[in-house]
Amino acid sequence: MNDKAFADATLLSGGRQASDAIVTMKSVVKRFKDFEALKGIDFAVGRQEVVVIIGPSGSGKSTLIRCINRLEQHDEGSIVVDGTELTNDIRNIQEIRKETGMVFQSFNLFPHLTVLTNVAIGPRQVRNLPKVEAERIARELLERVKIPEQADKFPAQLSGGQQQRVAIARALAMKPKVMLFDEPTSALDPEMINEVLDAIKELANEGMTMVVVTHEMGFAREVADRVIFMADGEIVEVGTPEQIFDSPKEERTKKFLSQIL
């Protein structure tokens, strides 16, 4: 990656300095056996910034955000989240995981626990809050994602859209400083996509810092402060939604956008 691209990738929106970043990645490399999934990623997310990552499948988008909370271990480079560097030290990892919430493509709710317990489990078991307090937080969040009446059901009794909103509430219950969304609508039936996107938009409007991997271009345009286009394990182009969607500079970006739009 040339110097210009590096500067682009780490420059925060609104002309803020990199020191204002909550997540910083420097020359991060991730390999799966012989395959290089991330080829030296430089990347930063500012506080209250919404970064949307797009790109063809297999381009390393998911791997990138899974490195931020150590679901994947990077092989080279450094990752710093909220001033804590990700090392092999389990305490650092736990510290960072407490500060980052993640929403998965396949929801990954705990099927043996009620919706309420699913949401309360973080505050109760990680933050060690009393049960009453944890459940109060959980009910509040279920209210916020507009499904308070489902609290006592089990995940399997809910629709996909409702499940994903529970998953969002579960991540929020930890009061994270950054939310990571890994293709949150890809496993949903079309008619349920909007209810989830609306919940995420609302979060963005409230000033939550977010990194979103998605294929929903309309959503990306609407909600993103910055859009990052990735291909083959590299960041190819970075810019405001207008720059990326209306006047992409790189050939690969143009080709990708012409294929999906």
Partner 1 sequence: MKKWLRENLFRSYLDGVVTLVSAALAIWILTQLWNFVFVTGRWEIIQVNLKLLLVGRFPEESMWLVGLSMISLAFFIGLAAGSLRSTGLKSRKVTEIAIDVTRRFGLLLLLAAAIIYLAGTLDALLAGLQVFAALAVGRLLGGLKTTITWLKPIPKALWLALWALLPIASIGFTLSVASLEEWGGFLINFYIAIVSIVLCFPLGILLALGRRSSFPVVRLLSTTYIELIRGAPLFVLLLLAGVALEFFIPPEIAPDVIFRSVTVFTLFTGAYLAEIIRGGLQSIPKGQTEAGKALGLSTVKIIYLITLPQALRNVIPAQIGQFISLFKDTTLAGAALSVFEVLNIGKAITKQDDFLGQGMIYESLAFVALLFWVGSFVMSRESQRLEKKLGVGVR
Which spans of this chain sit near partner 1 (rule: CB under 8 A)? Answer: 69-71, 94, 97-98, 100-102, 104, 106, 108-112, 121-122, 125-126, 153-157, 167, 170-171, 174
- Measure the CA dihedral 201/207/210/212, to 10°: 20
**In the complex, least distance from residue 222 CB atom to partner 1, rounded to whole angstroms:** 26
In whole angstroms, how large is the CA radius of gyration of the chain? 18
Choice between 189 and 246, CB closer to partner 1: 189
Q: Is the Cβ of residue 156 or residue 261 nearer to partner 1 in the bound state?
A: 156
CB of 103: closest distance to partner 1 in angstroms?
A: 9
Would you give the end-to-end CA distance of the chain in angstroms? 27
- In 3D space, the residue among 34, 5, 18 whose CA is nearest the CA of residue 235 turns out to be 5
CB of 93 to partner 1, least distance (A): 9
Give the nearest distance from C-beta 151 to partner 1 in angstroms.
13
127 to each of 48, 54, 121, 214, 230, how far by Cα in Å? 23, 33, 9, 30, 35
Site of tokens 């999934």 = 37
Report the residue number, 1 or 93, with the smaller CB distance to partner 1.
93
Between 196 and 244, name the residue whose CB sits nearer to partner 1.
196
Q: Using CA atoms, how far apart are residues 104 and 106, in angstroms rounded to an integer?
A: 5
